[in-house]
Structure 1
Amino acid sequence: MATLIKIGGSLIPGHVEKLCSSLREVAAAHPVLLIAGGGELVDVVRSYRKKLALSDETAYSMAVLAMDQHAYLLAEIGGFAISRSLRKLKKQRTVPQVFAPSDVLLNLPVNDVIDIDRMTSDTIAAFVAGWVGADLIIATDTDGIYSADPDVVPDAMFLERVCACQLTHATSIDAEAVRMIRRWNVRTSVVNGTMPDRLVRCLRGQPTRRTEIVLDCAC
């Protein structure tokens, strides 16, 4: 089974080169798919919304296109292939594929109101992983999920395993993404992408510091 790795926007651009180098080394033995967060580019969209009367749909479209831009960045740095089709993403396994999602997402029917603060790149990554039948690793700039925000609660506990249905508090991934993970039964881990060796060990199924989101628990 392939693994979809969501490269969080917080890792771009500072950690991209080391991450791509590590992924190239491991991809021969472990089929890898990639999707990128919008990061600083989406922050720009949010700043525009404070100054201009942008509709939710326009802001959402701009945010998705920011993910596309980072997809091309990863492909260039890593020597990876770009895929704009979910069907091609599902079939291609020869080299790491980076999914640029705008062709798919911007042609889906939308509700009357789209909240880009709710429909985040984590949620999109969980949807893509579920659709193509891949495991999901969310690579971010924290070690994983804590019992509370460690920046606010210094003695918050690090959670090596947590049931998806218990993730009702603010964490390093958003609540809508958790709902998508549960809907598609996506095996998911959250790992610190600033330390590429942890990401590699997670791909190889080796012990490392990470949070595993458990699906088959009784709540």
Structure 2
Amino acid sequence: MPWVIKIGGSLYGSKHLEEWLDTLQALGSHQLVIVPGGGPFADLVRNTDQRFNLEFAHAHHMAVLAMQQFGYLMASLCRELCLASNRKQIQACWDDGKTAIWEPHPLVSQQCELPKIWDVTSDSLAAWLAGYLSVTQLLFVKSSPLTLSEMPVDQLQKHGCVDPVLPELLADTKIAVHFLHKSKAREFEGLLGMDTP
């Protein structure tokens, strides 16, 4: 069963980032696609927007490109991962038994109808990608200790763990949402129904 996996930008510089990438690479036969967060690349865009008061659409494109930059970093850290920008390329990665990293800008700029505002972050884009691919399993990997709880998405949103648009975007969908703390990479195998040593 395919999964969309959002790796939060807060994992940039964390010792857990490569652990997650290695885990997901090793599970490539399970049809996984990684959605990178923006990390410090998106922070730079936010600072630039605050300084120059950018057009909403321009800031949004820059933020999506920030996600793409983090994706390139992930691909450099774990070279068995497979970069892909659309359904056909993602499927080609899966056909090769590889975990994909989504390059979001081409698809988001051409087909995504979500508003181009700061409230729409990589969280909502991960949910959008799941819908686009007809994937029903969505995992968020976050640094917040609140993800260690069983708190529902709307409550996590109130605590700032996910973006404000995500709960509404997930409403009335068949997407099952999961959260794991950044330190729990090994537990993902359990979500896949596999026995971990």
Asked if Structure 1 and Structure 2 have the same fold, meaning a TM-score greater than 0.5 normalized by the shorter chain, the answer is yes
Give structure 1 stretches of 5+ with no counterpart.
146-157, 208-219
User: What TM-score, normalized by structure 2, do the two folds share?
Assistant: 0.84
2:144 maps to: 142
2:81 maps to: 80
1:122 maps to: 123
2:3–2:31 CA contact under 8 A, matched in 1: yes
CA distance in 1, matches of 2:93, 2:172: 25
> Shift of the alpha carbon at 1:129?
1.0
Aligned in 2, Cα 1:42/1:168: closer, same or farther, shift over 3 Å? closer
- Which protein has the bigger helix share? 2
Root mean square deviation, CA, Å: 2.6
Give structure 2 stretches of 5+ with no counterpart.
none
Aligned in 2, Cα 1:168/1:98: closer, same or farther, shift over 3 Å? closer
Report the count of equivalent residues.
191
CA distance in 2, matches of 1:196, 1:68: 22
1:7–1:34 CA contact under 8 A, matched in 2: yes
Q: Which has the larger radius of gyration?
A: 1
CA distance in 1, matches of 2:20, 2:61: 27
> Shift of the alpha carbon at 1:168?
6.5
> Shift of the alpha carbon at 1:89?
2.0
User: What TM-score, normalized by structure 1, do the two folds share?
Assistant: 0.76
CA distance in 2, matches of 1:183, 1:54: 34
Secondary structure of 1:4's partner?
strand
> Shift of the alpha carbon at 1:4?
1.0
CA distance in 2, matches of 1:4, 1:107: 20
CA distance in 2, matches of 1:87, 1:57: 26
> Shift of the alpha carbon at 1:185?
2.4
Q: Structure 1 residue runs of 4+, over 4 Å off? A: 164-168
